[in-house]
Structure 1
Amino acid sequence: MWGVLAAALLLPVGAQAQAEAEVPQGRFRQPATRIGEIIEYELSYRHEPGLNVIFPDSTASYAPFEYVGKTYQPTRTRQGRSLDQTTYRLRTFSLDSVQRLQLPVTILRGRDTLTLPSTSAAIRLRRLVAPAAAGAAPTLRQNTALLPVAPAFNYPYWLAGAGLVLLVLGGVALTFGRRWRQRYQLYKVRKNHVYFLAQYARHVERFTLSRSLTNMERAITLWKNYLTTLENNTISSLTTREIVAHYHNDADVRLALRLADRVIYGNVFSEDETETDLAFDLLRSFAERRYELVRTQLET
């Protein structure tokens, strides 16, 4: 009975002794370093597979070194023993000739923790300048050679320049925008009018040569479409009576469309071409008057 109780009491002590049997190993991968140079420090620990082991992170103290980063390897278990290994990237700005580092490894056991310090690792500081004698000023080495500097894109100035350009363009648009739009509208109206006159004359000429109702219908349709585009109305879809009413019973429009309807729908040709010529002339004259009216409105 007493033997079993003693064995039970000795089990935690034996487990702790076994955990402490392996000391975490810390070492620098290079014997010497210089001020500010990145060095690698390797921390490894062999233990039982069931232990929960925690290595130091970026919040730990690495004095006299500064923490830069770390890489770790997954736990490897062979022949009943596990190995955890982490490589830390450090640098130092201390001037001590020999600098040492000893990092702890933490073992979790429920609510309790056990901290095991690693073996002490030392690294030698490689000096580039020999230490000056007591009271003597250090000897300075002159180096006036220019080093190449990569050109950098000056974002603030470019953004300020772009903003200034946009501001100027906005001011120009506000000042001259209406005039430019007016000139562009005048250009389009003038171009469309010249095109209408040329096409209208071609249809009239074809009708005169062929006396074909198709050419006369095309001339009337071209006239309606041109006035629809010029004045932004819908007379191209209106009847003759509606067109005459739209233009307030204009005498030239009323007479020209009445003569054209008598020829197209009544198939009534006069002995001479006086009536058809009159109808074509009246429609062209009315279109020119409406063009002059629109052009005058755009220029004011």
Structure 2
Amino acid sequence: MADLRSSLRPALAAVVLALTSLTAAAQTSADSLPRGRFQRAGVRVGEVLEYELTYEHAPELAVIFPDSAANFAPFEYVDRRYSPTRTRQGRSLDRAVYRLRTFSLDSVQVLSLPVTLLRGRDTLLLPTAPTRVRLLRTVAPTTVVGSAPQLRQNVRLLPVEARFNYPYWLAALAGLLLLAGGLVLGFRRSLRGRYRHYRLRKNHAYFLAQYARHIERFTLSRSLTNMERAITLWKNYLSALEDNNISSLTTREIVAHYQDDADVSLALRLADRVIYGNQVSEDESETDLAFVLLRTFAERQFQKVYAAS
């Protein structure tokens, strides 16, 4: 009895496998095969052509459509768009449209895309019927093969747009910067002296112009305010010129600072008598003399500082 059972087991396994195969075949035959078709009957070289792939099947089947990694030869893949699965009356419909293009010169080109059917751990490829498309030629083929066309030589130069050469310009700019830096380092002392001379001349010219304006206003109005402003301007200029602080010193201290200079002593005494003594005489010679002496002393000090720098 045990020998009989062991002998029947292989036969039972073969029967089960056969029934499973028959069931799968029956289910596959019950489902329609995938269908593919081109949207147009003809296409030109390099022109985008749409290929529609549809598959109607039972809802419980797991179906996978080709993606960009599939073999589309002799066409090239451009992109695709999928439509959601629609199920009606116990049947599901999947649809995808592929945008392709060809550079093949065959008169008739054929495409067949397979649809993958998942069955547990197994897969089943369901190919579509081959679909053909005709290549539309833009130039009619010649029936008579003759000699090669005669070529004409053309050596005329065509205008070429000038382009900005950034590397050379950047290299030139870097060279100029290095040269300027070398000149500044090599002639730093000379350049600093020249700049100081320029600032001294500019400040002195500004002082003379402002000083003359205050004197003119004093001459026209005989106002002590204008005379006081002229004296203040003179003190501030000498303070900046000599880098000291004589603007805060009294007349006696200023005279002592300049070692009892006769011009400074006389001019400041005349100015103090007019400003603080309120003694504005009709004779303008004293005030004019004070202004001239102060201006002469300022010019003398300017020349001394200019020569020393």
The TM-score normalised by the length of structure 1 is: 0.64
Structure 2 counterparts to residues 82-101 of structure 1, below 5 A: 82-93=93-104, 95-101=105-111
> Bigger radius of gyration, 1 or 2?
2
Cα pair 2:214 2:229 within 8 Å, conserved: yes
- Secondary structure of 2:218's counterpart equals helix
Runs of at least 5 residues in structure 2 that lack an aligned partner in the other structure? 1-19
Give the 5 Å matches for 1:6-25: 13=24, 17=28, 20-25=31-36
In structure 1, distance between residues paired with 2:42 and 2:227: 106
- Partner residue in 1 for 2:163: 154
Query: Is the CA contact (8 Å cut-off) linking 1:62 and 1:101 kept in structure 2?
Result: yes
Pick the aligned partner of 2:214 from 203, 218, 227.
203
SS in 2 for 1:21: coil
* Equivalent AA in structure 1 for residue 133 of structure 2: I
Task: Write the mapping of 1:25-174 to structure 2, written as runs, cut at 5 A.
Answer: 25-27=36-38, 29-34=40-45, 37-47=46-56, 53-67=63-77, 69-75=78-84, 77=86, 79=88, 81-93=92-104, 95-107=105-117, 113-126=123-136, 128=139, 130=141, 139-142=147-150, 154=163, 158-167=165-174, 169-170=176-177, 173-174=180-181
Q: Is 1:194 the equivalent of 2:205?
A: yes
Paired with 2:86 and 2:61, the residues of 1 have a C-alpha distance of 12
**Identity, % of aligned positions:** 41
Distance in 1 (CA, whole Å) between partners of 2:221 and 2:203 is 27
Give yes or no for contact 1:30–1:39 (8 Å, CA) kept in 2: no
The count of residues paired between Structure 1 and Structure 2 equals 276
- The structure-2 alpha-carbon separation of the partners of 1:62 and 1:283, relative to structure 1 and needing over 3 Å to count, comes to farther
Distance 2:239 2:162 in 1: 55
CA distance in 1, matches of 2:251, 2:87: 103
CA deviations 1:225-270 (Å, max 9, x no partner) are: 5456667x5859x51259968x992245963556545544x33538
Q: What amino acid does structure 2 have at the position aligned with 1:162?
A: W
8 Å contact 1:24–1:44 — kept in the other structure?
Answer: yes
CA distance in 2, matches of 1:54, 1:210: 107
CA apart distance, 1:215: 0.2
> Cα deviation per residue 1:112-167 (whole Å; 9 max; x = unaligned)?
6554323322233456474889xx8x743456598xx8966635xx2034224424
Task: Name the counterpart of 1:250.
Answer: 258
Write the distance in 2 (CA, Å) between the matches of 1:18 and 1:295.
113
In structure 2, distance between residues paired with 1:217 and 1:52 = 107
1:215 aligned onto 2:215: no
TM-score by length of structure 2 reads 0.63
Q: Which runs of 5 or more structure 1 residues have no equivalent in the other structure?
A: 1-8
Q: Secondary structure at the match of 2:296?
A: helix
Shift of 1:21: 1.8
